[in-house]
Amino acid sequence: MAKINFGGTEENVVTREEFPLEKAREVLKDEVIAVIGYGVQGPGQALNLKDNGFNVIVGQRQDSKTWDKAVADGWEPGKTLFPIEEALDKGTIIQYLLSDAGQISVWPTVQKYLKPGKALYFSHGFGATYKERTGIIPPKDVDVILVAPKGSGTSLRRMFLEGRGLNSSYAIFQDATGKAKDRVVALGIGVGSGYLFETTFQREVYSDLTGERGTLMGAIQGIFAAQYEVLRKNGHSPSEAFNETVEELTQSLMPLVAENGMDWMYANCSTTAQRGALDWWKKFRDATLPVFSDLYSEVAKGNEAQRSIDSNSQSDYRVKLEAELTELRESEMWRAGAAVRQLRPENDKK
Ligand SMILES: NC(=O)c1ccc[n+]([C@@H]2O[C@H](COP(=O)([O-])OP(=O)(O)OC[C@H]3O[C@@H](n4cnc5c(N)ncnc54)[C@H](OP(=O)(O)O)[C@@H]3O)[C@@H](O)[C@H]2O)c1
Protein backbone atom coordinates (compact mmCIF):
# COMPACT_ATOMS: atom_id res chain seq x y z
CA MET A 1 0.00 0.00 0.00
CA ALA A 2 1.55 3.31 -1.04
CA LYS A 3 0.55 6.71 0.34
CA ILE A 4 0.23 9.16 -2.53
CA ASN A 5 -0.40 12.86 -2.19
CA PHE A 6 -3.34 13.88 -4.38
CA GLY A 7 -3.38 17.67 -4.44
CA GLY A 8 -2.57 17.93 -0.73
CA THR A 9 -4.55 14.91 0.54
CA GLU A 10 -2.75 11.65 1.28
CA GLU A 11 -4.53 8.54 0.02
CA ASN A 12 -3.74 4.83 0.04
CA VAL A 13 -3.32 3.31 -3.39
CA VAL A 14 -2.20 -0.10 -4.59
CA THR A 15 -0.05 -0.29 -7.71
CA ARG A 16 0.88 -3.26 -9.87
CA GLU A 17 4.50 -2.88 -8.76
CA GLU A 18 3.74 -3.49 -5.10
CA PHE A 19 1.02 -6.10 -5.71
CA PRO A 20 2.27 -7.90 -8.83
CA LEU A 21 0.28 -10.39 -10.84
CA GLU A 22 2.26 -13.33 -9.41
CA LYS A 23 1.15 -12.35 -5.91
CA ALA A 24 -2.47 -12.03 -7.07
CA ARG A 25 -2.27 -15.50 -8.65
CA GLU A 26 -0.86 -16.90 -5.40
CA VAL A 27 -3.68 -15.34 -3.32
CA LEU A 28 -6.39 -16.71 -5.63
CA LYS A 29 -4.79 -20.03 -6.59
CA ASP A 30 -7.49 -22.16 -4.91
CA GLU A 31 -10.43 -20.00 -5.94
CA VAL A 32 -12.94 -20.52 -8.73
CA ILE A 33 -13.95 -17.06 -9.92
CA ALA A 34 -17.48 -17.15 -11.33
CA VAL A 35 -18.28 -14.07 -13.41
CA ILE A 36 -22.08 -13.85 -13.43
CA GLY A 37 -23.33 -11.82 -16.40
CA TYR A 38 -21.71 -11.19 -19.76
CA GLY A 39 -22.94 -7.70 -20.63
CA VAL A 40 -20.31 -4.94 -20.64
CA GLN A 41 -18.19 -5.46 -17.50
CA GLY A 42 -18.55 -9.25 -17.61
CA PRO A 43 -16.53 -9.79 -20.81
CA GLY A 44 -13.86 -7.22 -19.91
CA GLN A 45 -13.24 -8.64 -16.45
CA ALA A 46 -13.63 -12.33 -17.32
CA LEU A 47 -11.34 -12.22 -20.37
CA ASN A 48 -8.67 -10.20 -18.56
CA LEU A 49 -8.75 -12.62 -15.61
CA LYS A 50 -8.48 -15.60 -17.98
CA ASP A 51 -5.57 -14.07 -19.90
CA ASN A 52 -3.89 -13.25 -16.59
CA GLY A 53 -3.95 -16.96 -15.67
CA PHE A 54 -6.80 -17.13 -13.12
CA ASN A 55 -9.31 -19.95 -12.78
CA VAL A 56 -12.42 -18.25 -14.14
CA ILE A 57 -15.82 -19.42 -15.36
CA VAL A 58 -18.77 -17.47 -16.75
CA GLY A 59 -22.42 -17.76 -15.66
CA GLN A 60 -25.00 -16.52 -18.17
CA ARG A 61 -28.66 -17.34 -18.84
CA GLN A 62 -28.84 -19.66 -21.80
CA ASP A 63 -31.86 -18.49 -23.81
CA SER A 64 -30.09 -15.29 -24.81
CA LYS A 65 -27.86 -13.82 -27.50
CA THR A 66 -25.41 -12.99 -24.74
CA TRP A 67 -24.75 -16.72 -24.27
CA ASP A 68 -23.74 -16.88 -27.95
CA LYS A 69 -21.49 -13.87 -27.46
CA ALA A 70 -19.71 -15.68 -24.62
CA VAL A 71 -19.26 -18.76 -26.83
CA ALA A 72 -17.90 -16.57 -29.63
CA ASP A 73 -15.38 -15.13 -27.14
CA GLY A 74 -14.04 -18.63 -26.48
CA TRP A 75 -15.95 -19.70 -23.33
CA GLU A 76 -16.81 -23.39 -23.59
CA PRO A 77 -20.26 -24.60 -22.53
CA GLY A 78 -19.97 -27.17 -19.74
CA LYS A 79 -16.29 -26.34 -19.17
CA THR A 80 -15.95 -22.61 -18.60
CA LEU A 81 -19.47 -21.38 -19.46
CA PHE A 82 -22.52 -22.39 -17.42
CA PRO A 83 -26.11 -21.39 -16.73
CA ILE A 84 -26.20 -18.92 -13.83
CA GLU A 85 -27.14 -21.41 -11.08
CA GLU A 86 -24.42 -23.87 -12.02
CA ALA A 87 -21.78 -21.14 -12.07
CA LEU A 88 -23.02 -19.84 -8.71
CA ASP A 89 -22.64 -23.33 -7.30
CA LYS A 90 -19.11 -23.83 -8.64
CA GLY A 91 -17.74 -20.38 -7.81
CA THR A 92 -15.94 -19.58 -4.56
CA ILE A 93 -15.84 -15.95 -5.63
CA ILE A 94 -19.08 -14.70 -7.17
CA GLN A 95 -18.50 -11.66 -9.38
CA TYR A 96 -22.03 -10.32 -9.58
CA LEU A 97 -21.98 -8.46 -12.90
CA LEU A 98 -25.59 -8.54 -14.03
CA SER A 99 -27.16 -5.17 -14.78
CA ASP A 100 -28.09 -3.43 -11.51
CA ALA A 101 -31.79 -4.19 -12.15
CA GLY A 102 -30.95 -7.81 -13.05
CA GLN A 103 -29.07 -8.14 -9.74
CA ILE A 104 -32.26 -7.32 -7.84
CA SER A 105 -34.36 -9.95 -9.62
CA VAL A 106 -31.75 -12.74 -9.52
CA TRP A 107 -30.77 -12.06 -5.88
CA PRO A 108 -33.03 -14.77 -4.34
CA THR A 109 -31.19 -17.35 -6.50
CA VAL A 110 -27.73 -16.00 -5.64
CA GLN A 111 -28.48 -16.13 -1.93
CA LYS A 112 -28.98 -19.91 -2.10
CA TYR A 113 -25.39 -20.41 -3.22
CA LEU A 114 -23.61 -18.05 -0.84
CA LYS A 115 -22.07 -20.73 1.36
CA PRO A 116 -19.86 -19.63 4.29
CA GLY A 117 -16.39 -18.49 3.23
CA LYS A 118 -17.33 -17.53 -0.31
CA ALA A 119 -16.84 -13.98 -1.54
CA LEU A 120 -19.51 -11.87 -3.17
CA TYR A 121 -17.97 -9.27 -5.48
CA PHE A 122 -19.63 -6.23 -7.03
CA SER A 123 -18.42 -3.58 -9.46
CA HIS A 124 -20.86 -1.00 -8.12
CA GLY A 125 -21.89 -0.12 -4.59
CA PHE A 126 -25.52 0.23 -5.71
CA GLY A 127 -27.10 -3.08 -4.64
CA ALA A 128 -25.63 -3.24 -1.13
CA THR A 129 -25.79 0.50 -0.33
CA TYR A 130 -29.46 0.91 -1.25
CA LYS A 131 -30.33 -2.42 0.36
CA GLU A 132 -33.76 -1.27 1.61
CA ARG A 133 -34.68 -0.59 -1.99
CA THR A 134 -32.88 -3.51 -3.69
CA GLY A 135 -33.34 -6.24 -1.06
CA ILE A 136 -29.67 -7.22 -1.55
CA ILE A 137 -28.63 -8.11 2.00
CA PRO A 138 -25.72 -10.57 1.99
CA PRO A 139 -25.41 -13.20 4.72
CA LYS A 140 -22.89 -12.43 7.49
CA ASP A 141 -20.53 -15.33 6.76
CA VAL A 142 -19.34 -14.30 3.27
CA ASP A 143 -16.86 -11.62 2.24
CA VAL A 144 -18.51 -8.75 0.41
CA ILE A 145 -16.09 -6.79 -1.74
CA LEU A 146 -16.01 -4.36 -4.63
CA VAL A 147 -13.73 -3.48 -7.52
CA ALA A 148 -15.20 -0.71 -9.66
CA PRO A 149 -13.25 0.02 -12.84
CA LYS A 150 -13.53 3.73 -13.64
CA GLY A 151 -14.66 3.25 -17.20
CA SER A 152 -16.48 0.97 -19.56
CA GLY A 153 -15.82 -2.77 -19.64
CA THR A 154 -14.93 -2.23 -23.29
CA SER A 155 -12.13 0.18 -22.29
CA LEU A 156 -10.99 -2.20 -19.55
CA ARG A 157 -10.44 -4.91 -22.16
CA ARG A 158 -9.04 -2.59 -24.84
CA MET A 159 -6.51 -1.01 -22.47
CA PHE A 160 -5.49 -4.44 -21.16
CA LEU A 161 -4.75 -5.60 -24.70
CA GLU A 162 -2.68 -2.44 -25.24
CA GLY A 163 -0.68 -3.20 -22.09
CA ARG A 164 -2.30 -0.33 -20.18
CA GLY A 165 -4.69 -0.38 -17.22
CA LEU A 166 -7.91 1.38 -16.22
CA ASN A 167 -7.89 2.72 -12.66
CA SER A 168 -10.37 1.11 -10.25
CA SER A 169 -11.64 1.75 -6.77
CA TYR A 170 -11.90 -1.08 -4.26
CA ALA A 171 -13.89 -1.50 -1.06
CA ILE A 172 -14.70 -4.01 1.63
CA PHE A 173 -18.29 -4.10 2.88
CA GLN A 174 -17.85 -7.17 5.02
CA ASP A 175 -14.77 -9.23 5.94
CA ALA A 176 -16.04 -12.59 7.15
CA THR A 177 -12.97 -14.70 6.42
CA GLY A 178 -10.13 -12.33 7.31
CA LYS A 179 -9.04 -12.68 3.66
CA ALA A 180 -11.27 -9.99 2.15
CA LYS A 181 -8.47 -7.45 1.68
CA ASP A 182 -6.13 -9.87 -0.11
CA ARG A 183 -9.00 -11.21 -2.19
CA VAL A 184 -10.24 -7.82 -3.32
CA VAL A 185 -6.82 -6.39 -4.17
CA ALA A 186 -5.82 -9.58 -6.02
CA LEU A 187 -9.05 -9.42 -8.03
CA GLY A 188 -8.49 -5.74 -8.76
CA ILE A 189 -5.05 -6.52 -10.16
CA GLY A 190 -6.38 -9.61 -11.95
CA VAL A 191 -9.12 -7.77 -13.86
CA GLY A 192 -6.49 -5.44 -15.30
CA SER A 193 -6.69 -2.29 -13.16
CA GLY A 194 -4.05 0.41 -13.46
CA TYR A 195 -3.83 1.48 -9.83
CA LEU A 196 -6.45 0.77 -7.15
CA PHE A 197 -7.76 3.38 -4.74
CA GLU A 198 -9.64 2.70 -1.56
CA THR A 199 -13.28 3.65 -1.05
CA THR A 200 -16.46 2.41 0.64
CA PHE A 201 -19.53 0.95 -1.08
CA GLN A 202 -21.48 4.09 -0.21
CA ARG A 203 -18.87 6.55 -1.45
CA GLU A 204 -18.43 4.54 -4.65
CA VAL A 205 -22.10 4.69 -5.51
CA TYR A 206 -22.60 8.34 -4.50
CA SER A 207 -19.63 9.51 -6.58
CA ASP A 208 -20.47 7.22 -9.50
CA LEU A 209 -24.10 8.32 -9.76
CA THR A 210 -23.07 11.97 -9.43
CA GLY A 211 -20.32 11.63 -12.04
CA GLU A 212 -22.38 9.90 -14.71
CA ARG A 213 -25.29 12.29 -14.26
CA GLY A 214 -22.80 15.17 -14.12
CA THR A 215 -19.71 15.95 -16.11
CA LEU A 216 -19.19 12.48 -17.57
CA MET A 217 -22.49 12.24 -19.43
CA GLY A 218 -25.49 14.31 -18.28
CA ALA A 219 -23.99 17.75 -17.73
CA ILE A 220 -21.73 17.54 -20.75
CA GLN A 221 -24.63 16.86 -23.11
CA GLY A 222 -26.58 19.69 -21.44
CA ILE A 223 -23.73 22.14 -21.96
CA PHE A 224 -23.19 20.97 -25.55
CA ALA A 225 -26.89 21.45 -26.30
CA ALA A 226 -27.02 24.94 -24.77
CA GLN A 227 -23.96 26.24 -26.62
CA TYR A 228 -25.04 24.66 -29.90
CA GLU A 229 -28.47 26.27 -29.60
CA VAL A 230 -27.02 29.72 -28.96
CA LEU A 231 -24.67 29.44 -31.95
CA ARG A 232 -27.47 28.24 -34.24
CA LYS A 233 -29.89 30.95 -33.06
CA ASN A 234 -27.25 33.48 -33.99
CA GLY A 235 -26.97 32.23 -37.54
CA HIS A 236 -23.99 29.90 -37.38
CA SER A 237 -24.12 26.83 -39.62
CA PRO A 238 -24.58 23.35 -38.10
CA SER A 239 -21.07 22.43 -39.19
CA GLU A 240 -19.55 25.46 -37.49
CA ALA A 241 -21.66 25.06 -34.36
CA PHE A 242 -20.83 21.35 -34.02
CA ASN A 243 -17.10 21.84 -34.59
CA GLU A 244 -16.91 24.66 -32.02
CA THR A 245 -18.99 22.74 -29.49
CA VAL A 246 -18.02 19.07 -29.71
CA GLU A 247 -15.55 18.07 -32.39
CA GLU A 248 -12.67 20.29 -31.32
CA LEU A 249 -13.15 19.23 -27.71
CA THR A 250 -13.20 15.48 -28.28
CA GLN A 251 -10.67 15.30 -31.10
CA SER A 252 -8.12 17.89 -30.16
CA LEU A 253 -8.40 19.30 -26.65
CA MET A 254 -9.43 16.47 -24.33
CA PRO A 255 -6.58 14.11 -25.28
CA LEU A 256 -4.18 17.00 -24.50
CA VAL A 257 -5.92 17.76 -21.20
CA ALA A 258 -5.72 14.04 -20.33
CA GLU A 259 -1.97 14.10 -20.99
CA ASN A 260 -1.01 17.43 -19.46
CA GLY A 261 -3.76 18.95 -17.31
CA MET A 262 -5.92 22.03 -17.81
CA ASP A 263 -3.29 24.64 -16.87
CA TRP A 264 -1.10 23.29 -19.67
CA MET A 265 -4.03 23.51 -22.07
CA TYR A 266 -4.69 27.12 -21.08
CA ALA A 267 -0.97 27.89 -21.43
CA ASN A 268 -0.76 26.29 -24.86
CA CYS A 269 -3.66 27.90 -26.70
CA SER A 270 -3.86 31.33 -28.30
CA THR A 271 -3.69 34.25 -25.88
CA THR A 272 -7.20 35.19 -27.01
CA ALA A 273 -8.58 31.77 -26.07
CA GLN A 274 -6.56 31.84 -22.87
CA ARG A 275 -7.96 35.19 -21.69
CA GLY A 276 -11.53 34.11 -22.45
CA ALA A 277 -11.28 30.71 -20.82
CA LEU A 278 -9.73 32.19 -17.67
CA ASP A 279 -12.43 34.85 -17.45
CA TRP A 280 -15.40 32.54 -18.08
CA TRP A 281 -14.70 29.24 -16.30
CA LYS A 282 -15.68 30.55 -12.86
CA LYS A 283 -18.98 31.87 -14.24
CA PHE A 284 -19.82 28.39 -15.50
CA ARG A 285 -18.78 26.90 -12.17
CA ASP A 286 -21.02 29.30 -10.25
CA ALA A 287 -23.95 28.78 -12.62
CA THR A 288 -23.80 24.98 -12.38
CA LEU A 289 -22.85 24.59 -8.70
CA PRO A 290 -26.48 24.67 -7.49
CA VAL A 291 -27.41 21.97 -10.01
CA PHE A 292 -24.54 19.76 -8.86
CA SER A 293 -25.50 20.29 -5.19
CA ASP A 294 -29.09 19.34 -6.02
CA LEU A 295 -27.84 16.28 -7.91
CA TYR A 296 -25.67 15.08 -5.01
CA SER A 297 -28.49 15.54 -2.55
CA GLU A 298 -30.89 13.52 -4.76
CA VAL A 299 -28.26 10.76 -4.92
CA ALA A 300 -27.64 10.78 -1.16
CA LYS A 301 -31.37 10.66 -0.37
CA GLY A 302 -31.70 7.56 -2.56
CA ASN A 303 -34.14 9.27 -4.93
CA GLU A 304 -31.89 8.77 -7.96
CA ALA A 305 -31.47 5.08 -7.10
CA GLN A 306 -35.24 4.68 -6.78
CA ARG A 307 -35.83 6.38 -10.12
CA SER A 308 -33.34 3.99 -11.77
CA ILE A 309 -34.88 0.93 -10.14
CA ASP A 310 -38.42 2.00 -11.10
CA SER A 311 -37.61 2.79 -14.70
CA ASN A 312 -35.15 -0.08 -15.35
CA SER A 313 -37.56 -2.69 -14.04
CA GLN A 314 -40.42 -1.68 -16.36
CA SER A 315 -41.07 -4.27 -19.05
CA ASP A 316 -41.10 -1.64 -21.81
CA TYR A 317 -37.85 -0.03 -20.58
CA ARG A 318 -35.91 -0.86 -23.75
CA VAL A 319 -38.67 0.53 -26.00
CA LYS A 320 -38.82 3.81 -24.08
CA LEU A 321 -35.03 3.99 -23.99
CA GLU A 322 -34.86 3.62 -27.75
CA ALA A 323 -37.32 6.51 -28.13
CA GLU A 324 -35.16 8.74 -25.94
CA LEU A 325 -31.96 7.76 -27.74
CA THR A 326 -33.63 8.38 -31.09
CA GLU A 327 -34.54 11.88 -29.93
CA LEU A 328 -30.84 12.55 -29.19
CA ARG A 329 -29.62 10.87 -32.38
CA GLU A 330 -32.15 12.76 -34.52
CA SER A 331 -31.42 16.13 -32.93
CA GLU A 332 -29.83 18.53 -35.36
CA MET A 333 -26.63 18.69 -33.30
CA TRP A 334 -25.99 14.94 -33.37
CA ARG A 335 -27.08 14.59 -37.00
CA ALA A 336 -24.48 17.26 -37.75
CA GLY A 337 -22.09 15.18 -35.60
CA ALA A 338 -22.71 12.07 -37.71
CA ALA A 339 -21.89 14.05 -40.85
CA VAL A 340 -18.73 15.47 -39.26
CA ARG A 341 -17.60 11.98 -38.16
CA GLN A 342 -18.15 10.69 -41.67
CA LEU A 343 -15.91 13.43 -43.05
CA ARG A 344 -12.94 12.53 -40.86
CA PRO A 345 -9.99 11.59 -43.12
CA GLU A 346 -9.69 8.16 -41.51
CA ASN A 347 -13.18 7.40 -42.89
CA ASP A 348 -12.20 8.24 -46.48
CA LYS A 349 -11.87 4.63 -47.51
CA LYS A 350 -15.15 3.47 -45.89
N1 LIG B 1 -21.06 -0.79 -18.06
C2 LIG B 1 -19.88 -0.62 -17.51
O3 LIG B 1 -18.87 -0.57 -18.21
C4 LIG B 1 -19.72 -0.52 -16.02
C5 LIG B 1 -18.65 0.21 -15.48
C6 LIG B 1 -18.38 0.14 -14.12
C7 LIG B 1 -19.23 -0.63 -13.31
N8 LIG B 1 -20.31 -1.30 -13.85
C9 LIG B 1 -21.14 -2.13 -12.99
O10 LIG B 1 -20.93 -3.50 -13.37
C11 LIG B 1 -22.13 -4.24 -13.21
C12 LIG B 1 -22.51 -4.85 -14.55
O13 LIG B 1 -22.82 -3.79 -15.42
P14 LIG B 1 -22.90 -3.95 -16.99
O15 LIG B 1 -23.07 -2.60 -17.58
O16 LIG B 1 -21.84 -4.85 -17.46
O17 LIG B 1 -24.30 -4.69 -17.07
P18 LIG B 1 -25.14 -5.02 -18.34
O19 LIG B 1 -24.31 -4.99 -19.57
O20 LIG B 1 -26.39 -4.25 -18.32
O21 LIG B 1 -25.44 -6.54 -17.92
C22 LIG B 1 -26.11 -7.32 -18.67
C23 LIG B 1 -25.96 -8.74 -18.11
O24 LIG B 1 -26.95 -8.93 -17.11
C25 LIG B 1 -27.78 -10.02 -17.54
N26 LIG B 1 -29.12 -9.83 -17.01
C27 LIG B 1 -29.83 -8.67 -16.91
N28 LIG B 1 -31.02 -8.89 -16.32
C29 LIG B 1 -31.06 -10.22 -16.04
C30 LIG B 1 -32.02 -11.06 -15.41
N31 LIG B 1 -33.18 -10.58 -14.96
N32 LIG B 1 -31.73 -12.38 -15.28
C33 LIG B 1 -30.55 -12.88 -15.72
N34 LIG B 1 -29.60 -12.13 -16.32
C35 LIG B 1 -29.85 -10.82 -16.46
C36 LIG B 1 -27.69 -9.96 -19.06
O37 LIG B 1 -28.11 -11.13 -19.65
P38 LIG B 1 -28.98 -11.03 -21.01
O39 LIG B 1 -28.09 -10.42 -22.04
O40 LIG B 1 -29.35 -12.43 -21.26
O41 LIG B 1 -30.14 -10.12 -20.70
C42 LIG B 1 -26.19 -9.70 -19.22
O43 LIG B 1 -25.45 -10.88 -19.00
C44 LIG B 1 -23.17 -3.25 -12.68
O45 LIG B 1 -23.18 -3.32 -11.28
C46 LIG B 1 -22.63 -1.92 -13.15
O47 LIG B 1 -23.09 -0.84 -12.34
C48 LIG B 1 -20.55 -1.26 -15.18
Over the stretch 76-107, which tens digit does the pLDDT of each residue have?
Answer: 999 999 999 999 999 999 999 999 889 999 99
Q: At which of 199, 232, 265 does a domain end? A: 199
Percentage, residues of the chain above pLDDT 70: 99
Same domain, 191 and 226: no
Q: Is the pLDDT of residue 109 over 60?
A: yes
| In a domain? residue 205 | no
Q: Is the pLDDT of residue 349 over 80?
A: no
Looking at residue 314, what is its pLDDT?
86
Rounded to an integer, the average pLDDT of 167-182 is 97
- When computed from its CA atoms, the radius of gyration of the chain, rounded to whole angstroms, is 22
Nearest CA to ligand 1 atom 30: 102
Looking at residue 2, what is its pLDDT?
82
Determine if ligand 1 sits within 6 Å of the CB of residue 124: yes
Q: At which of 199, 222, 238 does a domain end? A: 199
Looking at residue 1, what is its pLDDT?
75
* Mean pLDDT across the chain: 96
Same domain, 164 and 51: yes
| Amino acid letter, 163 | G
Same domain, 246 and 340: yes
Q: Is the pLDDT of residue 350 over 60?
A: no
Q: Is 208 annotated as a binding residue?
A: yes
Contact at 8 Å (CB) between 187 and 157? Answer: no
| In a domain? residue 264 | yes
Rounded to an integer, the average pLDDT of 140-155 is 96
Q: Is the pLDDT of residue 49 over 90?
A: yes
Rounded to an integer, the average pLDDT of 325-344 is 96
Cα–ligand 1 centroid distance for 91 (angstroms): 18
How far is 248 from 30, CA to CA, in rounded Å?
50
Looking at residue 209, what is its pLDDT?
97
How far is 321 from 193, CA to CA, in rounded Å?
31
Contact at 8 Å (CB) between 169 and 148? Answer: yes
| In a domain? residue 204 | no
Same domain, 171 and 235: no
| In a domain? residue 299 | yes
Q: At which of 156, 176, 199 does a domain end? A: 199
Same domain, 180 and 293: no
Same domain, 190 and 334: no
Same domain, 186 and 230: no
Contact at 8 Å (CB) between 101 and 309? Answer: yes
Rounded to an integer, the average pLDDT of 306-319 is 89
Same domain, 85 and 160: yes
182 closest CA partner among 2, 14, 9, 350: 14
Q: Is the pLDDT of residue 257 over 80?
A: yes
**Angle, in degrees to the nearest 10, between helices 303-312 and 317-329:** 110
What is the phi/psi pair of residue 116, to 5°? -50, 140
Rounded to an integer, the average pLDDT of 51-55 is 98
CATH code for position 166: 3.40.50.720
Q: Is 17 annotated as a binding residue?
A: no
Q: Bridge partners of 193?
A: 166
Cα–ligand 1 centroid distance for 282 (angstroms): 38
How far is 161 from 157, CA to CA, in rounded Å?
6
Range of the domain at 116: 2-199
Cα–ligand 1 centroid distance for 236 (angstroms): 42
Rounded to an integer, the average pLDDT of 170-199 is 97
**Span of 187-196, 202-211, 311-320, 335-344 with lowest mean pLDDT:** 311-320
| In a domain? residue 59 | yes
Answer yes or no: 124 catalytic: yes
pLDDT confidence bin for 318, thresholds 50/70/90: confident
Nearest CA to ligand 1 atom 40: 64
**How many domains are contained in the chain?**
2
Looking at residue 325, what is its pLDDT?
97
Same domain, 192 and 267: no
Same domain, 160 and 215: no
Rounded to an integer, the average pLDDT of 37-51 is 98
Same domain, 183 and 249: no
Same domain, 114 and 239: no
Model-level pTM? 0.91
Q: Is 322 annotated as a binding residue?
A: no
User: Which entry of 118, 124, 157, 183 is annotated as an active-site residue?
Assistant: 124
pLDDT confidence bin for 253, thresholds 50/70/90: very high
Three-state SS at 40: coil
